[in-house]
Structure 1
Amino acid sequence: MKVHHVNCGSMRPWGAGSLVCHVLLVEADNGLVLVDTGFGTQDCMRPARFGPFRRYFFRPSFDVAESAVRQVEALGFHRTDVRHIITTHFDADHIGGLADFPDAQVHVTAAEVEQAMRSPALPDRIRYRAEQWAHGPHLVEYDITGEAWRGFAAARELTAIGPGFVFISLPGHTRGHACVAVDAGDRWILHAGDAFFQSGTLDENPRVPALTAFERAVAENRKQVMDNHSRLVELHRRNEPDLMIVCSHDPTLYEQARASL
């Protein structure tokens, strides 16, 4: 499968330099598959959809040319060619583009749906933006209790999409957060979502204090986040030639992934 690395949302948060919304666009046998969407065209037209706190802290560019649907079209495809969207979690900067692909199946953990859509808790009502799913997406929910994958305890192959897609449970940032592994042929790409925020985490030397503080502040479970860091550091240390680890917002890992194509 051919994998495109696309930035679907440039941001310049206070004290943290530049960030990206790293999205995978996969040319699979039965259509296109997105891993997350970044910001969508509706976010660009109505930035309030992102929420006031995150908007003024992260300072997104809201450039419609960066939206997943525009980048899909720039590659010569149509939005209806996107058959599946796999979401790491339901924070607004990861699912803002869902409405641009209303016919796609949206794959998500059941725990994430429960927290984002059904939880009455005030912190959840503040964190998640119901506008992002007001169009009524076609959700496919998963309880990930399958076999281990490269040291991760619970993984599940997404056979409904096709071979080469694995959902890996990694809660902590949110209750239902997951990573997504994609078989790119010569290697696997592990999209860790917000399981970590900056490349220095893998070297056990995070370099941006503002991001470290924000990661802790928004964690659903800080202990799980730290445990996830340890697992990812261990995997990174093994330096397996057939595995690339990326996350959602680190620009260095994003540029390295693009340069490796």
Structure 2
Amino acid sequence: MRIRHLNTGTMCPIGKRLVNGTGGIFQRGRMVCHCLLVESNAGLVLVDTGIGLDDIADPARLGRRWVRQTTPRLDPAETAVRQIKALGFSPDDVRHVLLTHLDRDHAGGVPDFPKAKVHVHRKEYEMAVTCQIAPPPGRYITAQWRHGPDWAFYDQGGEDWFGFKGVRALGDREPDILMIPLPGHTPGHCGIAVRDKGRWLLHAGDAYFHHAQLDATPRIPFVLGIFQRRADIDRAARIQNQERLRALKAAHGGTVTIINSHDPVDYEACRCGRHAAAAAA
């Protein structure tokens, strides 16, 4: 098992201190779209896709308000497909895409991997794709899956993972990759847990936005906290799952590393190996 950390979309909203917790109010902040590229027994596995080539070719489809607020760089070189090609792989080598959820900055690259099986929680599919659960207006960008992906669905339940109910996303061929339901941000929001060399990495998606939210005394920069609350579909469930993640870190931080999708501190620590070094110490 080899895990690579990819930033598949840099966002630069105004108000760095209020978004990142450091710097000036009028400086541009930095947020990332932190994805994982996993070399597994089942082939290449991509956890989330970030912003895709079609999004960059037509930024208006992301929503003018969202683009104005987040100010994404929209650099083709940051897309997952371009980074995977730069590593010497073909897009067809990506056999599985595991999505924490279907928000625009997580699923935008799905069309760049048309031969991959796309794994998602059934409730997420029912809200974003079939609208059996009515989504908030403008929440999802349906053009990101109009090509008809090869979907695989998961429901609540499965094997126990540190007190969470997980599901083997790739079956017995790759038992060390699990989908962990973490609803709140969306009804079908999941974390993706990957085991490598006896340790677990939990990509918690948007279950929390800032690394300090998992501290014993949790905190989040003001504007980032507002954005998190506005993005909640079930705030009580999101808060409950943040508490469970905080307890997981406190009890098993030497075995489980928890990261989120947009925090540049988490991303840089993983990319430079600081998370692994801290756990080993």
Per the normalisation by structure 1, the TM-score is 0.95
- For residue 259 of structure 2, what is the aligned residue in structure 1? 246
**Deviation digits for residues 212-243 of structure 1, max 9, x if unmatched?**
11101110011011101101111111253221
**Deviation digits for residues 125-160 of structure 1, max 9, x if unmatched?**
4101111101111100111311321122x2111234
- For residue 163 of structure 2, what is the aligned residue in structure 1? 151
Instruction: Kindly provide the amino acid, as one letter, of the partner of residue 6 in structure 1.
Output: L
- For residue 14 of structure 1, what is the aligned residue in structure 2? 14
Unaligned runs of 5+ in 1: none
**C-alpha separation between the residues in 2 aligned to 1:18 and 1:229?**
22
Q: How does 1:106-185 map to 2 (within 5 A)?
A: 106-119=118-131, 123-152=135-164, 154-160=165-171, 162-185=174-197
CA contact (8 A) 1:38 1:97 kept: yes
**Cα displacement (A) at 1:186:** 4.2
Percent of paired sites with the same residue: 44
**C-alpha separation between the residues in 1 aligned to 2:181 and 2:220?**
27
CA contact (8 A) 1:197 1:248 kept: yes
**C-alpha separation between the residues in 2 aligned to 1:186 and 1:4?**
17
Which of 78, 82, 87 lines up with 2:94 in the alignment? Answer: 82
**Deviation digits for residues 151-187 of structure 1, max 9, x if unmatched?**
22x2111234622110111110001000000112242
**Deviation digits for residues 170-213 of structure 1, max 9, x if unmatched?**
11000100000011224211000000001010113324111111
What is the root-mean-square deviation in Å for CA atoms of aligned residues? 1.5
SS in structure 2 opposite 1:124? coil
The count of aligned residue pairs is: 260
CA contact (8 A) 2:126 2:132 kept: no
CA contact (8 A) 2:127 2:134 kept: no
Unaligned runs of 5+ in 2: 20-28, 277-281
Deviates more, 1:61-70 or 1:155-164: 155-164
